[in-house]
Structures are given as structure tokens and as C-alpha cells.
Amino acid sequence: MTALLEEGAADLDSRGFAEARDALAAEFTFDAGTDSIGVSARFLTENRDAALTLLRSALVDPRFDQDAIDRVREQVLSILRSNEKDPDTLASDAFDALAFGSHPYGSSGDGTLETITALTRDDILAAHKGALARDRIYVAAAGDITAEELGPLLDQLLGDLPATGTTLPPRAEYLLPPGRP
């Protein structure tokens, strides 16, 4: 889902979104962690309003066009196939399964070949609605902006996101005993 946020939003397809972002000298980064979604934005002060409008469209009105879904799915599947042969990934996945069992921390947040292949556009829409919600937002800002300026901009940027997201998993219990094996 996060890999698709820059693949078109509102009336801009993937190419149009990239061209608009580049014309503003803006940089947006979207990242999915095990229990968080990270969004980072960098842009020039003189382009702030236009950059925030574009970012807002990615957060609130992503297109999730089928051709973009298919393209990104193949990229993710390629990474997963590579990870199946990577000793570091295999060791990390095995440790997580032992340490956290059936909790989401016990499996890869990247999904599996089967789950990624089975994802539908509706699944991605539901993930978007459930993960990008105001009840789980933390904001950090640096640069040419004051706190007084930032507040209204954040309201404009994030105000149309759902108030609450999906229920988060329970606290993870660490299952491995202390000490060395």
C-alpha cells in the first residue's frame, strides 16, 4: 500500500504525480514498518503550499490504479523471492517467529509470495483506510516553519483522514528465555 501512494493520486496518474512532485523539487517518502507507516516530506519553502496539496492528495486520495498495483506487486514479489535466498533475512525471520510466535511481530511485514499474489485493490483500499488515521499520527517538523504555521498546515494535510484506524494487535509477548542458548 505504501509503495502505491506515489503511484497516482486524485486526477494525477503515476507519471503525472511524479512530474508534479519533481516540478516542485519535492521529495516524499512512504515506508511501512512492522507497526507503523512513515511519511517524510522535503520541499522548498516557496513551494510549501503546492507540495502539501500534492502530499495531501497522496495521503487522502490515492488512486491505486490496477496497472500500478500490478507493477508494484511484481517488484515486491521479486524482493520476496530474493529474500528467500538471503541468509540474513532467513535468520531474522526465524528469530522473529521464535521470539514472538503468532503475534504480527513474529512474521515478516513484507508478506509472503502467496499473500502478495492474492492482494486485491479492495484489500489495499482497506489497508489504506485502516492504517492512515488521525488516532495514530505523530509529527516531527524541522526547517523554515514555526509551530504557529505548522498547526493549520497539519489540519489541512491530515484533517480528512479517518478519525480512527483498525484495531491494533495486542502487546507482543517476548517468548524466548533470557540468556544464551
**For the domain that residue 70 is a member of, what is the CATH number?**
3.30.830.10
Number of structural domains, the chain? 1
Q: Which pLDDT score is estimated for 181?
A: 61
In a domain, 121, yes or no: yes
Residue 64 identity: F
For the segment 89-127, what is each residue's pLDDT rounded down to a tens digit?
999 999 999 999 999 999 988 899 999 999 999 999 999
Minimum mean pLDDT range among 40-44, 77-81, 108-112: 108-112
19 phi, psi to nearest 5 deg: -65, -40
Number of H helices, E strands in the chain: 7, 4
Task: Please check whether residue 164 lies inside any domain of the structure.
Answer: no
Q: Is the pLDDT of residue 180 over 80?
A: no
Confidence at 33, pLDDT banded by 50, 70, 90: confident
Q: What local confidence, expressed as pLDDT, does residue 109 receive? A: 86
Residue 145 belongs to a domain: yes
Domain limits at 85?
2-158
95 — alpha (psi -120 to 50), left (phi > 0) or beta? alpha
pLDDT confidence tier of residue 8, bands split at 50, 70 and 90? very high
In a domain, 167, yes or no: no
Considering the domain boundaries, does residue 166 fall inside one?
Answer: no
Question: What pTM, to 2 d.p., does this model score?
Answer: 0.89
| DSSP designation for 105 | G
Q: Percentage of residues in the chain with pLDDT exceeding 70?
A: 99
